[in-house]
Homo-oligomer: A and B are copies of this chain.
Amino acid sequence: MLPVTNPHPAFALTRASHVSIAVTDLERSRDFYRDVIGLVVTEETDDAVYLRGLEEAAHHSLVLERADEAKALHVGLRVRTDDDIVAAERFFRENDIEHRRVERAHQGPTIQFRDAVGTHIELTSSMDVVPRMMQRYDTFVAGAPQRIDHYQCVTHDVQKATDFWTGLGMRMSEYTAKDGTDELWGTWMEIKGNTHDLVFTNGRGPRLHHFAFAVPDGSSLIHAADVAGALGFGDEIDRGPGRHGISNALFLYLRDPDQHRVELFNTHYQFIDLETPPIRWDVTDPRRAQLWGMPASNRWFFEASEFPDEPVEEPLLQATPQTLEQYLGVH
C-alpha cells in the first residue's frame, strides 16, 4: 500500500537546506562550485568552504570538507524552530534512533542521525543570516544557481525509506512501481510545497546520488553547460540537458572533481493541495526518465557517493536485464 503522509508529525520539517561532502582537494572543489556551477563562497576556513546559492540568506547550503577520501557526509534538512529540534530528539529517543547533538559553525541547534535505511542526515533550526545576492546580477556566473532544492539518495529498500519519511510529514508527489503494482522502486517526497525535497531510488545503498540547485531557467542551464565546456568540464556532464517525465524537471547533471554529482535544474510544479494524488509511473515507461532525448550514461545510473563507515547493501528489488535496459532507456 502506498505510504500516506502523517498530518501530525513529531516535529516540523520545512525544507532541504544544506549538504556536506568530503573532498580531496579543497581549493579545486571550491573553484568548481564557484566557477563552473556558480555558487557564492560565504566563508573559507583551513578545512572547509561554505557556499550558498545567489538568493539564499542562510549562511550555507553546501559545505566542502577537506578529507583523504571523497564521501557524502550529511544531507541537511531544516526544522521550523529550536523547539522542533528538541521534539526531534524526543522522537528519536522514543523510537530508538541513534542520534547526537552536534556543534556546527553558523548553525543553530543541530542534530545528526541515520534514517531507516542508513542515510546520514543533519537537522538544524536556523543559520546565520547573510545577504541575499539575488539582485547582484553583475556577479552571476555559470548557471546562476539560486538555492538548494532537493537530494536524491539510492537505497536498498525504497519502501522502508518512504515509510520513515512520510511518518515525519513528508508527502509523496510521484513514484515509480512495476507491473501495475505499487511496489515502490522510487519515491519523490516533499515538505516545502513543490515536487520534491528528498528522493529515494532502488539500488545499492545508502548512497547520495546527487544534490540539486535550482537555476532561473532553461537559458541558465545551457549557459552552465557552455561554461563547463569552456572551463574543461564538458565531459563531466553525465546526463542532460533533458526533461524528466517525473517531476517535469529540466535537468543537467555534472560531476565535481571528486565525482560527487550536482544537478542544476528548473521547473517544479506546486504540490500543496491535499486532494491531489501522487503520480504513478511504471518503471518500464522510458518517459518517466526522459520525455525526450538521449538516455543517461551508465555512470549516471550506477555511480553515487557513499557515506563514511556506512555499509552499502544490495537492493531488495533486483533489476532484470530488461529492467536495466528500460532504466537506461536503450532503444
Are B229 and A269 touching (Cβ within 8 A)? no
**B residues within 8 A CB of A227?**
137-138
Are A277 and B129 touching (Cβ within 8 A)? yes
Using known A-B contacts A237-B294, A292-B237, A294-B297, determine if residue A136 contacts B14 with beta carbons closer than 8 Å.
Answer: no
Tell which of A42-50, A112-120, A216-224, A308-316 binds the partner.
A216-224
Q: Which residues of chain A from 46 to 94 have any CB-CB distance to chain B below 8 Å in the complex?
A: 55-58, 78, 80-81
Q: Which of A108, A132, A233, A273 has the most chain B CB within a 10 Å cutoff?
A: A273
Q: Which residues of chain A from 195 to 251 have any CB-CB distance to chain B below 8 Å in the complex?
A: 216-219, 222-223, 225-231, 233-235, 237, 239-243, 245, 248, 250
A277 to B130, CA, bound (A): 11
Across the interface, A293 reaches (CB within 8 A) one of B230, B237, B275, B277, namely: B237
Q: Nearest residue in B to A81 (C-beta to C-beta)?
A: B274
**B residues within 8 A CB of A127?**
273, 275
Are B273 and A78 touching (Cβ within 8 A)? yes
A219 to B144, CA, bound (A): 13
A328 contacts the other chain (Cβ, under 8 Å)? Answer: no
A150 contacts the other chain (Cβ, under 8 Å)? Answer: no
A261 contacts the other chain (Cβ, under 8 Å)? Answer: no
**B residues within 8 A CB of A287?**
229, 234
**B residues within 8 A CB of A326?**
none
**B residues within 8 A CB of A272?**
14-15, 78, 192
A146 contacts the other chain (Cβ, under 8 Å)? Answer: yes
Using known A-B contacts A230-B136, A287-B229, determine if residue A241 contacts B274 with beta carbons closer than 8 Å.
Answer: no
Are B193 and A267 touching (Cβ within 8 A)? no
29 contacts between A and B (CB under 8 A): A14-B273, A78-B273, A108-B275, A126-B275, A127-B275, A129-B277, A134-B248, A134-B269, A135-B230, A135-B245, A137-B227, A137-B230, A138-B141, A138-B230, A138-B231, A140-B223, A192-B272, A216-B267, A217-B218, A217-B219, A225-B242, A225-B292, A226-B291, A226-B292, A229-B287, A234-B291, A234-B293, A239-B294, A241-B241
Q: A134-B269, A225-B243 are in contact. List 13 more A-B contacts (CB 8 A).
A: A14-B273, A135-B229, A138-B142, A139-B230, A147-B269, A192-B270, A216-B266, A217-B218, A225-B242, A226-B291, A229-B292, A229-B293, A235-B331
